[in-house]
Structure 1
Amino acid sequence: MHYLLPARLDLQAHLSAWPPTEVPQFHPDALVRLLHLVTEVPAHNRKLAKQIRQQGGYVPLSAQLLQSIERHYNHYLTYAVRSGLLETDGRWWPTTAQVAGKCRGYRFTAAYCTPHPDASSDEVARQPRLQLVHLTDPKMQAKARRQGRRPTLLSPAERRDLRLREQPHAPLLEWLAPNRTPLRLDQAAALAYLAERFDMLPPVVAPRPKWPEWRPKWLKALDRDYYASPVEQYNQRLHSIVRLANRQLQPSIDTTVGRLHTTLTNMSSELRPFVYADGYGPLVSIDLVNSQPYLANLLWNPAFYTKSSSVKSTINFQNFRQSEIYKGRNVKGIIKEIPDIMLVNISQLTHREDIRLFSSFTGSGQFYELLLNAFRQRDVTLTTRKEVKELVFQVLFTRNGYYSPYKALFCLLFPTVDHIFRLLKQQDHTLLPRLLQALEAYLFLHVISRRVARTWPQVPLFTVHDSLVVPQEYAGQVEQIVREELRQATGIEPTLKHEQWSQAVRHDLLPPTSVASSIELNKKNR
């Protein structure tokens, strides 16, 4: 098992200088695991990381979590504070009917941290550059391995609500189990790349978010002023390496839109060249190009709203609403919020010229490039694909009352499309993006992945939201299924692209590609 501690910390020297005499049955590996939580907890949850950043960098550590690692955790943490490893905010209170509880927070002291570049006070979060460490005691390693590989897909409350309704995810979850997953990472090559990449980064930080001026207007001030340091980016990638090395894929189901989140979905694309499937070789990601604009075509497809339609569709309003996986979740609220006008005379919209133009753009796979050309013909000063993509983000994500020249241009080019989007956002501007993400999750997790798993149960299968990840020798066959299901759902031919993973993996780690096994697989499934 791999753990992360500040790179400036020499633990053996620290223990010699500050003997932990007050800790009963002290073991250095237990201290390593407890200190690791200070870096691991915020890296696992972005919302929590945001709260931690706004509260001075103190990481709340619950007694239940600490107890699961070490019975005498209080003595260890007291020693860490006394010896200058950690500092604490010293604040905690229990949960009551009026106030949410708070755990005592901890952070590494300034001696082990790099000051945040935009620090205006002592309470701004500090970022320690991390190093990889290992446990020394085989018994502690075995204990950590057992605890770290427990399945944590759903909380007990979610399981009670859903009963067995998470079964549609079963084909994917089997390949995410720690004892079965073939996912591996060329750790040495990935760490060397990160170190080289970090040395090349300038000391000047880049502002976040990296969008044009329009977006900060509707962001909170704390987000608008936030800067991401190279140290923070380095640490985030290092955490992904540790999780893959420990085979902790950490699957969880998004209770808002039904997406499946794993270590792969949270991992930086820079690390994908180092990921491979043990025993299966290189991996390929089959990605739906401009997925959300493409799936928006469902919103004016009559087959989506009519259960007994003459047009057969993979998904319709009824089976999406009645899907077992979504009962009891917030996705059910998305369906309730769709205005009734969307269910009436929807067929009258399909003949509109701008609807056909939008559909042809999204099906071509060059949606943003074609939009750019269309705007240039209208003498609009848009110069890059990135600017057009930001225009589409404004149309999808902002409130109806939010005006920008970009939104006005989109309305001129696609008046019917813009009208439908506004209908969906008239009560809640987040409904449209939530609906599109829920449709994406339903199609990729419940329709496409299940068909692939039924056809080839022996083929490893992973998802990264709007893409499937499979071994390279099966990519062509899986792509055909993805294409068929998406075409049947929307009535429009999709554009798919392949992203090659495992390019930076040493050849001795990859088995030779077996063309014969692919042929036998085809024969078996005919």
Structure 2
Amino acid sequence: MLLFIPKNLDFEELIIKNPPTFKKTKFKIEKLLYIIHLIIHIPLVNKLYRDKRFIPINSTLLQSKIHNYTEYLDYLVNILKIVECDNQYISGKKSKGYKLKDYYQTEVIIYEVMDCVFKKALSQEKTKNIEVEKKLYHLTKWFNDLSMDFEEAMKFAKTQYKIQSKTTDIPNITNSFNYAKMSIYKIFKRDFFMIRDLNVYRFHSNLTNMPSMLRNALSYNGENLISIDIKNSQPYFSTILMNPLFWRKEKNGIKTSDNGTKTSDFFNLGCKSTDFQLIINIYKLKCNNIIPYIMLEEILGCILKHDFSYFINLVVTGKLYEFLQEEIKTEHDVVYNDRKGVKAMVFLVLFSHNNFLGQPEAKPKKLFKNLFPEVYSLFEIIKRKDKTLLPRLLQNIESYLIVDVIAKRISEEYPLAPIFTIHDSIATTPQYVDIVEQVMNEELYLKIGQKPKLKREYWNINNLKKV
């Protein structure tokens, strides 16, 4: 088990100067280091916490590894004074958050646990990995033959750290370097983690959480990898929400909506009978209960009343971002030199609360509403009670299609094809890239009802050397 701790943390000297006075059990230094490791490591495996000052640590997790964890926390916070606590706890919602004092927010080093008893306790974390490996064997079985060019990856990470330290004022630049360093070491040491979250059912692994440029240092059995990405994936997946068949429900063998709309109403919209078997619907998703029943009728009413073809056409032809880029320039005299700014605008529309429309920073959102009022109305209904409903729904659609449909079919029809999923993309070797792309095209077209735009990204160590 690898632990990551601050390079400037002289824990032996600190303990000598401030010896622990634990009452019930013997003090073990590796348990202390494990808590420090969690504060540093949790943001690596969960990107949601990377911008947080305090990292929440679940007490159940701690107690499963350290029975008297409260003594260790008290020792770190009040005696050694190297950790701070926000003291904010909400039962069932939020654990207390912890952060290292600024002095110790430095480059990390690797510490390997030697205590056999504690190492066994930590190995229980691997049990969860094993469970995921069994359930998603078609994805997890390839990791053992995944390799990383350690020297080139570390050289790149260190070079970027030096450059960014001189040219940027970003305060968490050291954290970014640490995430890169930890990603490199974990793959190099074969310390893989595989998790499927219970919120949107995305599959997370070392590949999904590492800096994207470092993927160029990866190889499978000595072969380079090629990633096939879905362009404009979130807008693309959102087009299925504009199809009434997505919201359909089967009752007594007759397919109807929740407000009783019959299949004939769908046929009048140009839907074929086979569409009922092919297109994905919300009831196939694990998060099918996130949309309140009463909201379904309003959603379907909105869909039947409006025409979304203009927006859908821009999305499936890959012209949405370019169109928005030009409109922003015309309307607000703002020029985006790349797609990142426009992408951020789309994410603002998808992810922000409806009330945000009244804020000064919401100009891009207002522009989108003026350009696509029908689309905005649909999104507004879905997010009315909870702004996270729309992004959660889109991510659940993504994970279902990529993990449960496409990857599963590839593994069944081409069992020798190595596949690695990274949310809305799948990486494989040159031998199988055409096959994987073909399956992605076929399944996405069948399940979404619109042809996707796919692009290839070639991972190669030379890409790191050019930067």
TM-score interval (norm. to shorter): 0.7 to 0.9
Which residue number corresponds to residue 343 of structure 2?
A: 389
Deviation, 1:491, is: 3.0
* Maintained 8 Å contact 1:364/1:495: yes
Q: Does 1:343 align with 2:300?
A: yes
* Deviation per residue, 1:330-373 (Å, 9 max, x gap): x4223646431433584664xx4xx3332222112242113323
Residues 98-109 of structure 1: pairs in structure 2 closer than 5 A: none
Residues 116-131 of structure 1: pairs in structure 2 closer than 5 A: 127-131=105-109
Deviation, 1:201, is: 1.7
Which residue number corresponds to residue 191 of structure 1?
A: 154
Q: Which moved more, 1:400-409 or 1:432-441?
A: 400-409
Residues 357-368 of structure 1: pairs in structure 2 closer than 5 A: 357-368=310-321
AA of the residue aligned to 1:268: P
CA distance in 2, matches of 1:459, 1:431: 35
What's the secondary structure of 1:475's corresponding residue? helix
Of 172, 178, 181, 1:235 maps to 178
Residues 195-234 of structure 1: pairs in structure 2 closer than 5 A: 195-202=158-165, 206=169, 228-234=171-177
What's the secondary structure of 1:492's corresponding residue? coil
AA of the residue aligned to 2:179: Q
CA distance in 1, matches of 2:370, 2:68: 66
| Runs (5+) with no aligned partner, structure 1 | 115-125, 155-165, 208-227, 507-526
Q: Does 1:373 align with 2:326?
A: yes
| Runs (5+) with no aligned partner, structure 2 | 249-254, 256-262, 264-270
* Maintained 8 Å contact 2:245/2:281: no
Deviation, 1:390, is: 3.3
Which residue number corresponds to residue 65 of structure 2?
A: 68
Q: Does 1:431 align with 2:394?
A: no
Q: Does 1:493 align with 2:454?
A: no
Which residue number corresponds to residue 40 of structure 2?
A: 39
AA of the residue aligned to 1:461: I
* Maintained 8 Å contact 2:217/2:461: yes
* Maintained 8 Å contact 1:294/1:362: yes
* Maintained 8 Å contact 1:252/1:262: yes
CA distance in 2, matches of 1:447, 1:99: 33
- TM-score, reference length from structure 1: 0.67
What's the secondary structure of 2:208's corresponding residue? helix
Q: Does 1:418 align with 2:397?
A: no
* Maintained 8 Å contact 1:249/1:264: no
CA distance in 1, matches of 2:227, 2:331: 38
AA of the residue aligned to 2:150: Q
AA of the residue aligned to 1:273: N
Identity of aligned residues (%): 28
What's the secondary structure of 2:415's corresponding residue? coil
Q: Does 1:310 align with 2:272?
A: yes
* Deviation per residue, 1:152-203 (Å, 9 max, x gap): 488xxxxxxxxxxx99963445437xxx632332222222222222111235
AA of the residue aligned to 1:4: F
What's the secondary structure of 2:193's corresponding residue? coil
- TM-score, reference length from structure 2: 0.75
What's the secondary structure of 1:128's corresponding residue? coil
* Deviation per residue, 1:58-110 (Å, 9 max, x gap): x75848646637x89899889989995x64569999x99x798967x8766x6
RMSD: 4.4
* Distance 1:78-1:500 versus aligned 2 partners, 3 A rule: same
CA distance in 1, matches of 2:174, 2:275: 48
* Maintained 8 Å contact 2:2/2:113: yes
Which residue number corresponds to residue 6 of structure 2?
A: 6
Q: How many residues end up aligned between the 2 structures?
A: 436
Which residue number corresponds to residue 290 of structure 1?
A: 232
* Distance 1:82-1:421 versus aligned 2 partners, 3 A rule: closer
CA distance in 2, matches of 1:291, 1:61: 33
What's the secondary structure of 2:440's corresponding residue? helix
Deviation, 1:487, is: 1.6
